[in-house]
Amino acid sequence: MESDTRGTAMADRRVLIISYSFTQQTRVLVQRFAAGLASAGVTVVQERLEPIAPYAYPFKNDLRLGIAMAATFLQRRMPIRPVSEQCRGDWDCIVLAGPTWSYNPSGPVLAFLDRDARIVCKGQTVIPLISCRAYWQWHYRTLRGRLRQCGAVVETPEVFSHPVGEPWRSLGLLLKLGFLATNSQRPAAPRSATPGETGSFDPGTGSAASP
Q: What is the DSSP string of 107-144?
A: HHHHHHHHHTHHHHTTT-EEEEEEEESS--HHHHHHHH
Is residue 155 within 8 Å of 125, Cβ to Cβ?
yes
Rounded to whole angstroms, the Cα distance separating 47 from 200 reads: 40
Percent of the chain with pLDDT over 90: 50
pLDDT computed for residue 73 by the predictor = 74
* HEC assignment per residue over 51-81: ECCCCCCCCCCHHHHHHHHHHHHCCCCCCEC
Give the pLDDT of residue 113: 97
- Residue 197, pLDDT > 50, answer no
Average pLDDT score, the chain: 78
Q: What share of the chain is helix, strand, coil (3-state, %, to 5)?
A: 40, 20, 40
175: confidence class by pLDDT, cuts 50, 70, 90: low
How far apart, in whole angstroms, are the C-alpha atoms of residue 77 and residue 112? 9
Neighbours of 143 (CB within 10 A): 25
pLDDT at position 165, please? 61
What integer pLDDT is reported at residue 8 of this predicted model?
Answer: 52
SS3 state at 33 = helix
Question: For 168-187, what is the mean pLDDT?
Answer: 52
Mean pLDDT of the region 63-71: 71
Residue 192, pLDDT above cutoff 90 = no
Strands 104-105 and 125-132: unpaired
What's the whole-number mean pLDDT along residues 37-56? 92
Measuring CA to CA, how many Å separate 27 from each of 15, 21, 49, 87, 194?
Answer: 16, 6, 11, 18, 38
